[in-house]
Structure 1
């Protein structure tokens, strides 16, 4: 089981942004590669601290984590979380360089020098899904505008860092002269700068092109969840660069009849007074078509029928939720003379006097059961 992010940083859930950043910097310095050369355990702790900070420092991601825990960012391609397990150390240094203040190098085991692979910026889009698409999973093709390297663009070795991607500096301290490495400001750490470009390219040798991206969306995604499509973001300059990612935010289209609650679905079913008295079989709206249910004689308004497995699939593969049918007996407002006489006569009839059985649950008990 994944360790709690607050526990990793050694803070409480009430910690503010400044406390979170301070706690992360403390952990990052403790497990930093320059202080723990060749130590694999320190490397893992360093990555865990970076993962925890990436989530807790973002107010939206922090709110999701506080509500759903690690599940909010697992499955379905990521859920918009941090992919620390798949990142190399250069990625972490480039993302959190401001935390270290440039006082350390950039790798483990003495590999703090050398160019890193430049990564392009991410693109973000929204994809709207119907409840049916969410229940069954779907493949969507979307058009995005991506920055790509122009044809004919060339790069050369950066003269500031001589292709190393880093510049060294020496600082005088009370402990003596200390040497540290920081990312080259001219090439951004790639070790290369622009040499020649076609006229239609920008200052970095990039052009904007339309691209059609196929996105496989698993069943069970939720509104606001984010999926990652690797290498479908913008390109970065350089011969050894890699594209960024395409971040896909899910937007759920509200269904006309069905209301979603996690993996369960709710349906309000209105029946007439005669149908409630006599009982009836009815076709109701389910997520994948009509379903026939039987209503017993004398069914009461407020009765909840649970149809097992007729809800939304769990994104983690734990089966389907249920469809809860809420029975509402519709009371007529306009009666003709004959109908009115019938009910007036029935006022004193014993069968029409309410006699709830002990097994009948009250409204508050039903609400309690529904949320338990």
Structure 2
């Protein structure tokens, strides 16, 4: 039987990814050779444990071979959803005749096409909201390459402490979005996020009109 990777990180067998990341940061700082002399072996053990337990496929194989009770599996998605449930919410961000920063609305409707650096967001409106139109302040979460490790996820043989080996870090921005009166169900709009400082990312919006 292999070493108990959960015990190395100090987490339970059903720990979620967020708990594992916190435990890894704590253990990596404690056993880092630059901080504590003579801890190279413990640091390598922590690195190995995190590499396996942070990867769903590797963790599943490890659990099948070494753990009787499987961990809780958590579903995840990178797609953000914004749902204004009421007209009051919609009107909260209505700004009348102000021009949107991203240009003419009809010119940027197009069929959705996912590509590297694109983020898909669904904006769900009631029929009343779609008919009236207005503006909303849209929170958008996405990922960019980790600058300290240049997207590699590593420094030499060690996992990057900033992105925890993923090569990406999370970011959030807010976009003021103009919704014209009479927007139709299924219309798609692409917006570059250069105005928010992210030149390599496009935002693809799909408008869905749904009854209350």
Q: TM-score scaled by structure 2?
A: 0.34
Q: TM-score scaled by structure 1?
A: 0.20
Q: Which has the larger radius of gyration?
A: 1
Higher relative contact order (CA 8 A, sep 6+): 2
